[in-house]
Amino acid sequence: MTWMLFDGSIPSAVSFVTAPNESAASFWRTIEPYLTFLFSLSVFLIAFLIVLENRNPSRTVAWLIILNFLPIVGFIFYMLLGRNVRKRKLFRHKFISNAEVLKKLETAPSGMLDENDFWQYPHLASKRRLLNLMVNVSQSPFTLRNRSKILTNGDETFRQMIQDMSEAKHHIHFQFYIIRHDTTGQQFKQVLIDKAREGVKVRVIYDGVGSVRLDKRYIAELKKAGVEVVTFFPVILPFLNNKLNYRNHRKIVIIDGKIGFVGGLNIGDEYLGKDTRYGFWRDSHVRLEGESVYLLQNIFLKDWFFVTDENIEGDSYYPSLIEEPGEELIQIASSGPDSDWESIWQMYFSIIATAQEKIYITSPYFVPDDSISMALKTAALSGLDVRILLPSRPDHQTVFWASRSYFQELLEAGVRFYLYQPGFVHAKILLVDGVVASIGTANMDIRSFQHNFEVNAIIYNSNSVYKLEDDFINDLMDSKELTLKEYKCRPWHHRILESVARLLSPLL
């Protein structure tokens, strides 16, 4: 495999170097053919290895196209993002820790359910496939003794988080993909510092890429006050780091093992709508009480063990439920490179495939794989009410245009698209039949399905499901429906942007 410029010559990085004198120029002319050969050979070998990895064919083709037309840039991007390192080896001790904690949970007198108990809930009979799937692939049992509360947007979510954190007695576990050192970040920092000084055990995990701009002084102030702060996969030399592609996208807060939060919001002013680039920020989070918090705790402690080698144990982290929190059936689904199965991806597919009346989706990023796309088209062609709510403005250009390249085939099948107008919609919600709702950190894209560490709460037949559906209907009133006729009349340059971004969609 050889790449040539329009004049027939072979590109070489060294051809751009100007020799300071004739001796140096002669040296470069001597070694240039060898360097060119070695570079071409390395790119050829990468292409060969991509094929041998037996990836999804669309991903293989995407990488080969990039390497063919942009050999130098493609080589760099593949080294940065494309290498399929042995994930099980990389995350082996993380996986073992997970199994140990789950074994402890399963032997606890917590009243957790298994598949034999589902049939006492006749309203879930139509979801038997989904229930069995989540038990088999997620290694996370269903829980019954729960109470949930949907928090709409940053104001309500941050206010509730700060209030609950301020009342912590034993520990606060705080994990986010992005933490800013702006006004909002400072407010959370002060609460964490205050509680640490009171003797509460405070642990913080932030992602090395998502929070790459976090001020070191922010971290130093937390540590000085006694807060334990760790980075998930810090990136020092990105081109030599095979972990850059595996990011911890989770947003979790756990207080005293009794209260948990999960959803789409990170920590920063933009999530309160204070960033003029995005305007109003529409997002959703959920507050949990009860046994489902044990499962969030398990996920946090597994991540903590992975980055620190410290195994946190003790009944204080899984306290007995003295008061009856409620009777909501909730599943906590996590997925990531340490999982045997892409459980959230499979969960999304199963929820869509088992729908009988309606499917409502809200996602800031929509790059479906073939299976999700086919499930949505099949549902719409079967007469189901399928509606998808997306942002009307981009925050990541490539993903934005790649999303729109999927519109026509889905519109033609009867899927209805709505573009949110007041600002940027960032909630990650899947609702089916008014019975099942998924809310959490996973977007409807390949990166969330296959590369990122994610966590979602699946809530069954509760007031929270109805609240999420009400919020969805209200969001539609603030959105503009995109018809097939309007989409076909889009400007020609939009078509080009969509087509180019579509080629990259398997890599997004």
3 state DSSP class of 215: coil
Q: How many residues does the chain have?
A: 508
Write down the catalytic residue from 369, 433, 445, 475: 433
- Residue 401's nearest CA partner among 412, 409, 393 is 393
Write down the catalytic residue from 173, 426, 451, 467: 426
Write down the catalytic residue from 207, 256, 338, 445: 256
Other C-beta atoms within 10 Å of 371: how many?
A: 15
Is 169 catalytic? The answer is no
Burial-class residue 34 by CB neighbours within 10 Å (0-12, 13-18, 19+). exposed
DSSP codes, 327-390: --EEEEEEESTT-SS-HHHHHHHHHHHT-SSEEEEE-S-EE--HHHHHHHHHHHHTT-EEEEEE
Is 385 catalytic? The answer is no
Other C-beta atoms within 10 Å of 490: how many?
A: 14
For tokens 């085939």, the residue is 409
DSSP codes, 49-100: HHHHTT--HHHHHHHHHHHHH-HHHHHHHIIIII----HHHHTHHHHHHHHH
Beta partners for 388?
A: 361, 417
Write down the catalytic residue from 251, 285, 302, 377: 251
Write down the catalytic residue from 127, 189, 195, 249: 249
Residue 478 DSSP code: T
Is 256 catalytic? The answer is yes
Rounded Cα distance between 250 and 263, Å, is 8
Residue 507 DSSP code: G
Structural contact between residues 459 and 436, judged by C-beta atoms closer than 8 angstroms: yes
Is 275 catalytic? The answer is no
Q: Where are the beta strands (DSSP E) in 146-232?
A: 146-152, 171-176, 201-207, 228-232
Rounded Cα distance between 23 and 10, Å, is 23
Is 428 catalytic? The answer is yes
Is 433 catalytic? The answer is yes
Write down the catalytic residue from 171, 258, 285, 428: 428
Structural contact between residues 203 and 228, judged by C-beta atoms closer than 8 angstroms: yes
Rounded Cα distance between 327 and 365, Å, is 33
Catalytic positions? 249, 251, 256, 426, 428, 433
